[in-house]
Amino acid sequence: MSKTDRFLRACWGQEVDRTPVWLMRQAGRYLPEYRATRAKVSGFLELCQTPELACEVTLQPLRRFDLDAAILFSDILTVPHAMGMELDFLEGEGPVFRDPLREASDLRRLGQPDPEQDLRYVMDAVRLIRRELDGRVPLIGFAGSPWTLACYMIEGRGSRDFLHAKTWMYSDPESLEALLERLVLALTDYLHAQAAAGAQALMLFDTWGGTLTTSAYERFSLAPLQRVIAGLRATAEAKELPIILFSKGGGNWLERMAASGANVIGLDWTIDINVARTRLGKKIAVQGNLDPIALYGQAALLRAEIENILCANAGRPGHIFNLGHGITPQTPIDNVELLVETVHAWNGCSNDS
Tell whether residue 197 is among the known ligand binding residues. Answer: no
Q: Which residues contact 271 (CB under 8 A, 6 or more apart)?
A: 251, 254, 289
The answer to whether the CB of 146 falls within 8 A of the CB of 217 is: no
Size of interface with ligand CP3, in residues (CB under 6 A) = 21
- For residue 295, what is the enclosing H or E element? none
**Contact code string over 312-341 relative to ligand CP3, x by CB under 6 A:** --------------x---------------
Of 148 and 188, nearer to ligand CP3 (C-beta) is 148
Q: Is 29 a catalytic residue?
A: yes
Among 71, 183, 225, 302, binds ligand CP3 (CB under 6 A): 71
Under rule CB under 6 A, residue 77 binds ligand CP3: yes
Tell whether residue 28 is among the known ligand binding residues. Answer: yes
The answer to whether the CB of 119 falls within 8 A of the CB of 187 is: no
Under rule CB under 6 A, residue 26 binds ligand CP3: yes
- The dihedral over CA atoms of 149, 153, 154, 158, expressed in degrees to the nearest 10, equals 80
DSSP per-residue codes, 264-278? EEE--TTS-HHHHHH
Q: Which of residues 199-238 bind ligand CP3 (CB under 6 A)?
A: 205, 207
The answer to whether the CB of 127 falls within 8 A of the CB of 196 is: no
Tell whether residue 135 is among the known ligand binding residues. Answer: no
Q: Which stretch binds ligand CP3 (CB under 6 A): 71-79, 122-130, 282-290, 315-323?
A: 71-79
Distances (CA, A) of 85 to 43, 79, 98, 101, 156: 17, 9, 8, 9, 10
Binding site for ligand CP3 (CB under 6 A): 24-29, 38, 44, 71, 73, 75-77, 89, 94-95, 142, 158, 205, 207, 326
Provide the annotated binding site. 25-29, 75, 152, 207, 325
Active site residue ranges: 25, 29, 38, 75, 152
